[in-house]
DNA sequence: CGGGACTCCTGAGGGC
DNA sequence: TGCCCTCAGGAGTCCC
């Protein structure tokens, strides 16, 4: 499930291939996504040029000439791949898990030498086209909190923000208005690294722990990006490659297994909160 | 404000 | 081998 690191990797790979390229055609292969893809809207960018590819939290923004912006969210299973031999053959690197990924293709953007395809198995992702709008004017991106790796996200910011909230720290970190880019996996990992119980009330976290939490989040984000993100079930980047941060998981999807902290022999637990899994070590992360 | 419940969707995995 | 069931998850909406 793409979180900040996976989206960042996707953005880099997109940027590498489509920057300064001219869009020759846009084809809707399957309009059903979170928001329906409309031919009339997307045909507006025919003949336009890609000027910039950026990322805000888990969103990708593609700036296109004539003041158009494509807003992309990968949802759970959204991904891009390239068709380089436009005649028929799928680029060999994209036989992920030995499966051809054509089945859930939704949108094709054709460039001179290749096609860019958006594929999304569970259809939780979306692609929207805006004109004359900056990300601050787009509802999805206007209220996002600071990026974990930005200098604005520091001990002072987090202390002030946590003091306003009664929610559990798990839910606090999942709320994109407080900090943007984290999802279930990295929140669980960051809380474990910080020795904070996921259900601890936000305002009850001690100053020393807040400092550790800030450092842990930044550390995990940096490392995950370096390792190409995490690959769980379906995530592959646009090169068809898998990330490897999943080998670093200390708690996520490890319920029933031993805690990896030195000298701790507790068993990692899994619980449900707000319909989402929380994973934690009951000994290392006390309330 | 917060905390639920519910929705979208498909494939994996368990039970039998 | 296969069918039926449950579950995972981001984000939005709606209700209390």
What pLDDT, on the 0 to 100 scale, is given for residue A256?
A: 86
Give the nucleotide at minimum CA-to-C1' distance from A104.
B10
Protein-covered nucleotides of chain B (CB closer than 7 Å) are 1-12
User: In this structure, how many other beta carbons lie within 10 angstroms of the beta carbon of residue A213?
Assistant: 22
What pLDDT, on the 0 to 100 scale, is given for residue A242?
A: 67
What pLDDT, on the 0 to 100 scale, is given for residue A228?
A: 81
What pLDDT, on the 0 to 100 scale, is given for residue A232?
A: 62
Of A11, A55, A56, A58, the active-site residue reads A58
Give the nucleotide at minimum CA-to-C1' distance from A172.
B2
Length of chain A: 287
Give the nucleotide at minimum CA-to-C1' distance from A75.
C10
Q: Active-site residue A3, yes or no?
A: yes
Protein-covered nucleotides of chain C (CB closer than 7 Å) are 8-12
Strand C CB-contacts below 7 Å: A 1, 3, 34, 57-58, 73, 75-76, 122, 124, 139-140, 174, 176, 183-185, 253, 272, 275-277
Please compute, for residue A53, the number of CA atoms within 13 A of its CA located in the half-sphere on the CB side: 19
Q: Active-site residue A58, yes or no?
A: yes
Q: How far apart are CA A131 and CA A121, in angstroms?
A: 28
Q: How far apart are CA A111 and CA A47, in angstroms?
A: 10
Q: Active-site residue A2, yes or no?
A: yes
Q: Measure A65 CA to B9 C1' (Å).
A: 34
Q: Measure A174 CA to C9 C1' (Å).
A: 12
What pLDDT, on the 0 to 100 scale, is given for residue A86?
A: 56
Q: Active-site residue A148, yes or no?
A: no
pTM here is 0.91
What pLDDT, on the 0 to 100 scale, is given for residue A239?
A: 59
What pLDDT, on the 0 to 100 scale, is given for residue A98?
A: 36
Question: What's the CA dihedral at A17, A22, A26, A29 to 10 degrees?
Answer: -20
Q: Measure A276 CA to C6 C1' (Å).
A: 15
Contact partners, residue A27, CB within 8 Å, separation at least 6: A107, A108, A109, A110
C-alpha R_g of chain A? 20
Of A3, A8, A189, A239, the active-site residue reads A3
What pLDDT, on the 0 to 100 scale, is given for residue A85?
A: 60
Strands (E), chain A: 25-28, 50-56, 59-64, 68-73, 78-83, 105-110, 115-120, 126-131, 269-273, 276-280
Q: What is the mean pLDDT of each run of 10 residues along chain A (287 residues)?
A: 87 92 94 90 96 94 96 90 63 39 84 90 91 89 92 93 88 92 91 92 92 95 88 55 78 89 89 84 89
Q: How far apart are CA A262 and CA A257, in angstroms?
A: 14
Q: How far apart are CA A123 and CA A106, in angstroms?
A: 9
Find and give the residue nearest to B12, measured CA to C1'. Answer: A233
Buried b (16+ CB within 10 A) or exposed e, A156-187: ebbeebbeeeebbbbbbbbebebbbbbbbbbb
Q: Measure A203 CA to B1 C1' (Å).
A: 15
What pLDDT, on the 0 to 100 scale, is given for residue A103?
A: 77
Give the nucleotide at minimum CA-to-C1' distance from A274.
B4
């Amino acid at each position: 499930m793409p979180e900040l690191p996976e989206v960042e990797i996707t953005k880099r790979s997109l940027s590498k291939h489509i920057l300064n390229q001219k869009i020759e055609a846009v084809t809707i292969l399957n309009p059903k996504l979170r928001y329906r893809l409309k031919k009339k809207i997307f045909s507006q960018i025919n003949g336009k040029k890609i000027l910039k590819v950026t990322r805000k939290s888990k969103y990708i923004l593609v700036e296109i000439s004539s003041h158009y912006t494509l807003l992309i969210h990968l949802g759970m299973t959204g991904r891009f791949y390239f068709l380089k031999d436009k005649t028929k053959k799928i680029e060999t690197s994209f036989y992920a898990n030995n499966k051809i990924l054509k089945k859930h293709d939704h949108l094709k953007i054709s460039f001179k030498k290749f096609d860019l395809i958006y594929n999304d198995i569970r259809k939780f992702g979306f692609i929207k086209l805006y004109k004359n709008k900056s990300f601050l004017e787009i509802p999805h991106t206007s209220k996002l909190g600071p990026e974990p790796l930005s200098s604005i996200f520091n001990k002072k910011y987090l202390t002030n923000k946590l003091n306003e909230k009664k929610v559990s720290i798990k839910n606090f970190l999942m709320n994109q208005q407080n900090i943007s880019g984290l999802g279930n996996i990295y929140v669980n990992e960051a809380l474990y690294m910080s020795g904070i119980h996921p259900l601890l009330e936000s305002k009850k976290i001690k100053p020393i722990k807040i400092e550790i939490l800030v450092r842990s989040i930044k550390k995990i984000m940096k490392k995950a990006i370096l390792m190409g993100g995490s690959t769980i079930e379906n995530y592959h980047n646009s090169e068809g490659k898998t990330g490897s941060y999943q080998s670093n998981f200390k708690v996520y999807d490890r319920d029933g297994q031993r805690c990896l902290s030195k000298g701790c022999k507790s068993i990692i637990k899994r619980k449900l909160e707000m319909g989402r899994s929380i994973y934690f070590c009951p000994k290392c992360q006390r309330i």
